[in-house]
Copies of this chain bind each other. A is one copy, B any other.
Amino acid sequence: MQEPVVMKPIGVVHNSVKEPRREGWESLESTIVVEDRRASALDGLDAFSHIFVIYWMHRVSEEPRETTTHVHPRGDTRIPLQGVFATRSPVRPNPIGLRVVALLERRGNVLRVRGLDAIDGTPVLDLKPYLYHSDGVPDSTVADWIQDAAKDRSRPPSDERQRPES
């Protein structure tokens, strides 16, 4: 049993989405308000077109996180059950959200981004520059159920993002 890890959020997400949802994040603009005292730690970030936002999916309660080992991706029972680590489901032991977003603007301690899949009020844990050199793996391959979903336009091949707690 390893020691717990304690983190302090460094900022918070603001946008128009008040409840978890599965889709519709691509064109959404959000602001990330970083703590005032950490504003200068953003210096230079806006030299990158894209960044990773690492956040905490605070609406996922602890009980299902501890007991759920398998889920149907996107809640779609036509897709066989998968271990939670094989999915992007928020119901996982540590509901860490991870998303590459377009960085539109930085003003002081405030970032404006597009495509973040986090609801209003989400705590932000870290921000990192996106480096395609190491973060882009074009020859990577995915599970068949992702490819099958990609062929079906009614089920976009995006990852699960924040879904409603159920």
Contacts and interface: CB of A to CB of B under 8 A. Distances in A.
Interface string A124-166: 0111111111111111111111100010000001110000000
B56 A93 contact: no
Given A85-B41, A137-B100, A146 B159 contact: no
A96 interface: yes
Given A94-B126, A133-B142, 8 more contacts: A2-B12, A3-B123, A4-B8, A43-B69, A43-B82, A45-B83, A88-B129, A138-B138
Interface of A: 2-10, 12, 38, 40-45, 47-50, 52, 54, 56, 58, 69-70, 81-88, 92-94, 96, 98-100, 123, 125-146, 150, 157-159
